[in-house]
Structure 1
């Protein structure tokens, strides 16, 4: 009897000893967040990334029961803010970034102080959008076939604008040049508004622009639309056919996107928590409507989904950078 009791006691004690470490681990796991969460944006207030950040900040604050504030740190095409996110060590700093900050920054400029593939943790791809190939009204054409025939004839007498060296508007056009056999000269501008003004004034002939921005000018009769850079029509501007469906650039697809990232040092459990929350927030009807109005097709992916997109775009755009010899100024 005593032996049996002793055996049961030992078994119970053994089970308890196995349970203690797991319980202790759970109890020791720090609650997150424990203070205000910062979202850094590498562009000025009112810019597209800024609007996205402010759209998700309020519902994220409610979900986390902590303040979430947006701080603008403009400069170097968003890379200044991206570098600050990469180097943040407080576990409470995030960033809303564009394609280039999370993919090709280091390829464009080896002196970039962070490596997007090593120093940033993908959280969620929030929104995507194709670009709209747009031309000035002085360019005569009735469809994409006519436009590209005229562009091939013009050669380097035509020029195209972008919001700067290394932007998707620049690299995407260099890719389009190889796909479509055209050769317009690149003219960089401070931003897309200046690109649009230059096209309206007849100083340049074409540009790849965010659809919401370009469509306003096309509908007003100030610019002409050639086609969107998606495989089919985009829900953002369904009235314009894609270049692919018009048969001029088979397989040519290009998107701009915005996403949430964190320092690579952020604990994986926190990354998983944020990824689930932000992807869910992005897909709610209210936030979806706001993002759509800002010109985004809502993605709301997992961290793994964003990581895959980063890998794909780094390969695609990186190949263009290498073959065309593009370097950041």
Structure 2
């Protein structure tokens, strides 16, 4: 996979962003000063989600919003601003200057949006302030019941021998399910042909109908169908096993010394104008909420592992994944549709 020396400087900019963003233009000073004071918050917060009600980001936002509001003493209102694969919601947060607007999004708008769509109207390092990871989930490598291989190593041997006869489904060019398979192809020599679909339900239907052979899918859809004997599960995309997928092994376990650690994740972030003390407080409250047994179980039932992190940890994760996926995007020429 190609690497880009510009990513190292971009990563440094992102990691330093929480410090640089505290130096604000005079026009932003009143809101920032009010928010940074000890009496924050004095009114409800708006939590913008760039995906529709019922989506994973929306579910995660609502799992966090109510207890966060209780902790802060002000309601946290979820506001769905849908479009451009989540980027419209992120752009809305980037423009906010009131000290009371934050956002929650999946990883794509924070790591791949600019590479896939150069006209994306925000720069993550310049315009956003990381707050906290919320939850992570692997993709599950699923195969149709027509696949003869019974386990991960058998699958890799079989797939490599098929040349371009195999096909794999994804939820569209540039999606996590697409890029994860392209990354696996670079590590293994598999040459499966890409077939895009509108969403994971359609991918699952095609797999179960044996119209395609493979897909990286979300656990909440793939695992139940595998338990019903309608799909085969070969591996999870993270370096560690996932408790929600039974005994399905990490793909990395069959790749010798090659690293394969791919996760879908969601995170809370704010605009660059959000003062660092506010981001730190939100990070601490969110981390505490995510460690409660009730929230952890609720998320696990939906196929997610509760996370929670300091702002700097999220900044590092954004920079790391931006570099990794940027290489895959350049290698494949992927573009958002």
- Helix, strand or coil at the partner of 1:94: strand
Alpha-carbon deviation of 1:213? 2.1
Match 2:323 to one of 300, 315, 320:
315
- Helix, strand or coil at the partner of 1:53: helix
- Helix, strand or coil at the partner of 1:77: helix
Alpha-carbon deviation of 1:314? 0.9
1:238 paired to 2:243: no
What does residue 284 of structure 1 align with?
A: 292
1:225 paired to 2:233: yes
Provide the C-alpha distance between the structure 2 equivalents of 1:194 and 1:207, rounded to a whole number of angstroms.
11
Alpha-carbon deviation of 1:247? 4.3
1:160 paired to 2:149: no
1:107 paired to 2:121: no
1:52 paired to 2:60: yes
1:251 paired to 2:250: no
Deviating beyond 4 angstroms after TM superposition, the runs of 4 or more aligned structure 1 residues are none
Provide the C-alpha distance between the structure 2 equivalents of 1:106 and 1:247, rounded to a whole number of angstroms.
30
Provide the C-alpha distance between the structure 2 equivalents of 1:50 and 1:260, rounded to a whole number of angstroms.
12
Structure 1 residues 224 and 86, CA, compared in 2 at 3 Å: closer, same or farther? same
Match 1:260 to one of 260, 265, 268:
268
What does residue 21 of structure 1 align with?
A: none
Alpha-carbon deviation of 1:318? 1.0
What does residue 301 of structure 1 align with?
A: 309
Provide the C-alpha distance between the structure 1 equivalents of 2:288 and 2:279, rounded to a whole number of angstroms.
14
Higher relative contact order (CA 8 A, sep 6+): 2
Provide the C-alpha distance between the structure 1 equivalents of 2:278 and 2:328, rounded to a whole number of angstroms.
35
Alpha-carbon deviation of 1:245? 2.1
Larger Rg over CA atoms? 1
Alignment of 1:1-329 (within 5 A): 29=37, 31-247=39-255, 250-329=258-337
Gaps of 5+ in 2: 1-32
Alpha-carbon deviation of 1:248? 6.7
Q: Count the aligned residue pairs.
A: 304
- Helix, strand or coil at the partner of 2:297: helix
Contact 1:102 1:117 in 2 (8 A): no
- Helix, strand or coil at the partner of 1:166: coil
Alpha-carbon deviation of 1:280? 1.3
TM-score, L = length of structure 2: 0.86
After superposition, give the CA deviation of every residue in 1:4-49 in whole Å (9 maximum; x if it has no partner): xxxxxxxxxxxxxxxxxxxxx99x9363222221111111111111
Provide the C-alpha distance between the structure 2 equivalents of 1:324 and 1:218, rounded to a whole number of angstroms.
30
Provide the C-alpha distance between the structure 1 equivalents of 2:306 and 2:325, rounded to a whole number of angstroms.
22
Worse overlay, 204-213 or 151-160? 151-160
TM-score, L = length of structure 1: 0.88
Provide the C-alpha distance between the structure 2 equivalents of 1:298 and 1:193, rounded to a whole number of angstroms.
24
Alpha-carbon deviation of 1:274? 0.8
Gaps of 5+ in 1: 1-24
After superposition, give the CA deviation of every residue in 1:142-197 in whole Å (9 maximum; x if it has no partner): 22222222222322222111112211111111101111111111122111111111
Provide the C-alpha distance between the structure 2 equivalents of 1:31 and 1:195, rounded to a whole number of angstroms.
49
RMSD: 1.8
Provide the C-alpha distance between the structure 2 equivalents of 1:122 and 1:206, rounded to a whole number of angstroms.
35
- Helix, strand or coil at the partner of 1:265: coil
After superposition, give the CA deviation of every residue in 1:41-72 in whole Å (9 maximum; x if it has no partner): 11111111111000001101101111111122
Contact 1:145 1:248 in 2 (8 A): no
Provide the C-alpha distance between the structure 2 equivalents of 1:201 and 1:114, rounded to a whole number of angstroms.
41
Provide the C-alpha distance between the structure 2 equivalents of 1:199 and 1:163, rounded to a whole number of angstroms.
13
After superposition, give the CA deviation of every residue in 1:63-122 in whole Å (9 maximum; x if it has no partner): 111111112222211111111111122221111111111112111111111112221111
Structure 1 residues 266 and 232, CA, compared in 2 at 3 Å: closer, same or farther? closer
